[in-house]
């Protein structure tokens, strides 16, 4: 998904004295993805220096960096999630390791030292507790299709890194007996790839499962060996934080901000036209499938099998897993877009619906009163009623 940004325009005159509406636009990176912002900010003409004129977009970038570093990233030792994961590992007799790419040897050496039934309790901050409780509710409601306890599995597959290494490329040889999901880089590209074995996948799955986690009295209690991965909800949570900031700044009259595949729209454009949010084409790189027209505040999230993937022997290995099998989900869908009134929910539901497939996915969206657009690999489209009024296809279907 990409926010359609009106190009070129610098200043909208609001018509009242010296107050004008400035457009601030910024494309930058945070949380491992591209952040694209367009803000409309009212200010008195000539009152601000050029640096001050970009201060709102800069504040949003700071909010995202703080969210990642202090709360969500499993790669950062003193983020809330990093702290939970590290405590579990230490209690399980493992050394916390934040450089997981393609390796997890300590675990194998130490396996068996602490039985998985051992439970570890970690106290968490009230906001984090609230956040995790809401995430757990979506896991419940989706029958476990969205499950942030898949950390061991996602690191075992390592598909996010592999997709970057191969630039979403094709790999000739699949080494099914490989030690871990890692590519071997030779020259400019990756020559072969070692996907995890069925045995390794089962071992990782044995460390996963939201049902084995307890949230009570400000504590999270999880089994030894489990690792959290909030990748499926992080960008949506980011949109909620951006929204809170936008609401606190009366001079901002309208905004559209995309954090990777999660977008928030807010307020109005100076010319009163609706926000346009383009949906990426799942099979034509750089192309668009269609566009959403939205008035006011909405949260939009797209999950697809085309963002981070590796093709091997004609099979698409992508980064959304079916917790029931431990393999990339093949539900017949290639893209799911959710529109609702919460960033966290939009992101969580887009992942859950992707795993569930068209019928159950549509039903889950309806439980939450969310609008959904589900695209099948063979070109079929499914939409909720409300989505029909927002969405217009303009590309070819897959
Ligand atoms: P994106 O990161 O492209 O926005 P998603 O929101 O669908 O895509 O999240 C995918 C990420 O979530 C993966 O990179 C992985 O870390 C994690 N993940 C994969 N499958 C699941 C799942 N079934 N439930 C929860 N998290 C998942
Ligand atoms: Mg998601």
Distance 309 CA to ligand 2 centre (A): 15
| 210 DSSP assignment | G
Closest ligand by atom to 228 CA: 1
pLDDT of residue 299: 98
Probe ligand 1: pick from 29, 181, 231, 260, max atoms within 8 Å of CB? 231
Report the pLDDT value the prediction gives residue 173, as an integer from 0 to 100.
39
DSSP alpha helix (H) spans, the chain: 50-53, 55-66, 80-91, 105-110, 126-141, 151-157, 159-166, 198-205, 234-247, 343-356, 358-367, 385-388
Indicate the burial class of 307 (C-beta count within 10 angstroms; 0-12, 13-18, 19 or more): buried
Instruction: Name the closest-CA residue to atom 16, ligand 1.
Output: 231
Give residue 11's pLDDT.
Answer: 46
Q: Whose CA is nearest to atom 19 of ligand 1?
A: 320
* Proximal ligand: closest to the CA of 33: 1
Q: Which residues line ligand 1 (CB under 6 A)?
A: 146-148, 150, 154, 160, 229, 231-232, 235, 260-261, 303, 307, 319-321, 323, 347, 351, 355
Question: Near ion ligand 2, which residues have CB within 5 Å?
Answer: 232, 303, 347, 350-351
Three-state SS at 298: strand
**Which ligand has an atom closest to residue 229 CA?**
1
From the CA of 319, the nearest ligand is: 1
Sequence-distant (6+) residues with CB within 8 A of 303 are: 232, 261, 320, 335, 336, 347, 350, 351, 353, 354
What pLDDT does residue 89 have?
83
pLDDT of residue 18: 82
Contact by Cβ (8 Å): 183, 165: yes
Give me the average pLDDT of each 10-residue run along the chain (398 residues).
41 61 96 96 76 84 97 89 90 63 43 68 94 98 98 89 69 42 51 81 94 96 93 98 98 97 97 96 91 98 91 86 97 98 98 98 98 96 97 86
What is the CA(156)–ligand 1 centre distance, in A?
14
Q: Distance between CA 55 and CA 50 in Å, rounded?
A: 9
Q: What separation in Å is there between the alpha carbon of 393 and the centre of ligand 2?
A: 22
pLDDT of the residue at 93: 72
Given the CA of residue 159, which atom of ligand 1 is nearest to it? 14
């Amino acid at each position: 998904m990409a926010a359609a940004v009106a190009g070129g325009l610098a200043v909208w005159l609001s018509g009242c004295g010296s107050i004008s509406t400035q457009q601030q636009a910024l494309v930058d990176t945070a949380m491992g993805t591209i952040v694209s912002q367009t803000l409309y900010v009212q200010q008195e003409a000539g009152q601000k220096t050029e640096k001050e004129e970009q201060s709102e977009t800069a504040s949003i970038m700071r909010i995202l960096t703080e969210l990642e570093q202090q709360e969500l990233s499993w790669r950062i030792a003193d983020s809330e999630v990093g702290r939970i994961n590290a405590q579990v590992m230490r209690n399980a007799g493992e050394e916390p390791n934040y450089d997981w790419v393609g390796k997890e040897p300590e675990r194998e050496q130490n396996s068996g030292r602490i039985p998985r039934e051992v439970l570890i309790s970690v106290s968490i901050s009230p906001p984090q507790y609230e956040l995790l409780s809401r995430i757990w509710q979506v896991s419940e409601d989706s029958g476990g299709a969205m499950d942030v306890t898949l950390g061991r599995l996602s690191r075992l597959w390592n598909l996010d890194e592999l997709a970057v290494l191969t630039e979403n490329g094709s790999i000739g040889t699949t080494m099914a007996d490989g030690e871990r999901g890692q590519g071997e880089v030779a020259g400019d590209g990756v020559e072969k790839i070692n996907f995890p074995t069925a045995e390794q996948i089962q071992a990782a799955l044995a460390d996963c499962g939201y049902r084995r986690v307890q949230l009570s009295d400000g504590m999270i209690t999880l089994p030894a060996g489990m690792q959290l991965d909030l990748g499926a909800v992080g960008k949506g949570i980011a949109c909620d934080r951006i929204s809170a900031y936008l609401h606190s700044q009366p001079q901002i009259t309208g905004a559209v901000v995309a954090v990777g595949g999660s977008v928030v729209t807010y307020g109005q454009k100076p010319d009163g036209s609706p926000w346009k949010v383009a949906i990426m084409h799942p099979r034509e790189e750089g192309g668009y499938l269609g566009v959403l027209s939205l008035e006011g505040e909405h949260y939009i999230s797209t999950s697809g099998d085309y963002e981070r993937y590796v093709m091997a022997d004609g099979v698409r290995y992508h980064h959304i897993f079916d917790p029931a099998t431990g393999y990339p989900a093949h539900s017949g869908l290639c893209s799911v877009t959710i529109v609702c009134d919460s960033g966290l929910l939009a992101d969580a539901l887009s992942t859950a619906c992707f795993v569930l497939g068209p019928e159950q996915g549509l039903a889950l969206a309806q439980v939450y009163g969310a609008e959904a657009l589900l695209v099948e690999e063979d070109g079929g489209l499914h939409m909720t009623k409300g989505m029909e009024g927002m969405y217009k296809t303009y590309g070819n279907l897959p």
